[in-house]
Amino acid sequence: MRKWLIVILLLAALFIPARASAQTSLGFDSVDVGIWPEYDTTSVLVIYKIGLAPTTPLPAEVTLRLPANVGKTSVVAVGPTPETVSDQNVDYKFTPGAEFSTVTIKATALFVQVEYYDTGLVKNGNQHKFTYEWLGDYGVDKFRFELREPLKASALSAVPSLTSTGVDGDGFEFSEFKQTAIKPGQKLTFTIQYQRDTDSPSTSFLKVQSSTPLDQTVPGQSTWTTYLPWILGGVGLVLLLIAGWVYWVSGRSNRTMVRSRKRHIARGEDDSASDAAAGEGQVHCSQCGKRAQPGDRFCRVCGARIRRGEA
């Protein structure tokens, strides 16, 4: 019985270190940590860009410890290259905690990107201070820390010191720190201090610029000048149609007036003839000139005798 117990204990002793070794065998080929204080919020945007070792069996489980003040991740993305990572259909789990929050990612490709907002920025008047710590969860062959200095900031200092790498088109100044061969469990701490007289995010000071000059046509987009010849042609055609219609209506009216005048002329001649014929049989009183009715022998006005057939 004692022999079997010894055998079991020996096997357990061999198994436990082997299992622990398997859990810590995962290593990172590269880690880029981007720190963007007060970029688009009043907190600090932290961006991890992680490259797994090329020999890493996939899928691989990656677990990162984050500050306890982080309530959620903003982006978790995986892809075959740093430029092609995607946050679509990524299997991950975020777990808040009192000491640390954690995010566990099922990496189906060699590159992982994680973004979150850290509310640990301390402000004392115009003095701003932030501390970032790499907790050493994994070994890293190439580690890079990059700081994007907020707009309207001045008197910036960092420990350890950073090397300036330039200014981008929006006016952000960049600086970095590089280190190689970081072992598992090895921590790195960065403390940043600067002066800033505003609490507005840097993005509120950016000037909105068109991606192309305003007088340049974007591919697939047409301006009104493209259709100007067609518009002028259409207006001209409409005017011609209106002129033709007016000409046709006016011509029709003139023809109608001519026919009407002819009918009136013809009718006037007939009426004149009728009046003439009717006038030939009329008799008037020789005394007062009143027209007598057929059969009258005396005038109905003055009583004079009606003379008929007298010259």
102-160 confidence digits (pLDDT tens): 999 999 999 999 999 999 999 999 999 999 999 999 999 999 999 999 999 999 999 99
The DSSP code sequence of 196-261 is ES--S-GGGGPPP--SS-TTSPPTT---GGGGHHHHHHHHHHHHHHHHHHHHHHHHHHHHHHHHHH
Q: SS3 of 23, please?
A: helix
Residue 109's nearest CA partner among 136, 135, 91, 94 is 91
Average pLDDT over residues 160-165: 97
Average pLDDT over residues 201-215: 72
Structure tokens at 90: 């990524």
Average pLDDT over residues 250-263: 63
* Tens of pLDDT, residues 39-91: 999 999 999 999 999 999 999 999 999 999 999 999 999 999 999 999 999 99
Contact 203, 40 (CB under 8 A): yes
What pLDDT does residue 250 have?
75
pLDDT band at 292 (very low <50, low <70, confident <90, very high): confident
Q: Looking at the whole model, is its pTM more than 0.85?
A: no
26-204 fold? Immunoglobulin-like (2.60.40)
Res 210 pLDDT > 60? no
Res 101 pLDDT > 70? yes
What is the domain partition of the chain in residue ranges? 26-204, 231-266, 282-311
Window from 20-24, 128-132, 203-207 with minimum mean pLDDT: 20-24
**CA pair distance 21, 141, nearest whole angstrom:** 18
Structure tokens at 221: 């987009």
Average pLDDT over residues 234-252: 84
Contact 249, 255 (CB under 8 A): no
Contact 77, 85 (CB under 8 A): yes
What pLDDT does residue 150 have?
97
pLDDT band at 7 (very low <50, low <70, confident <90, very high): very low
Res 276 pLDDT > 50? no
Residue 289's nearest CA partner among 279, 300, 277, 281 is 300
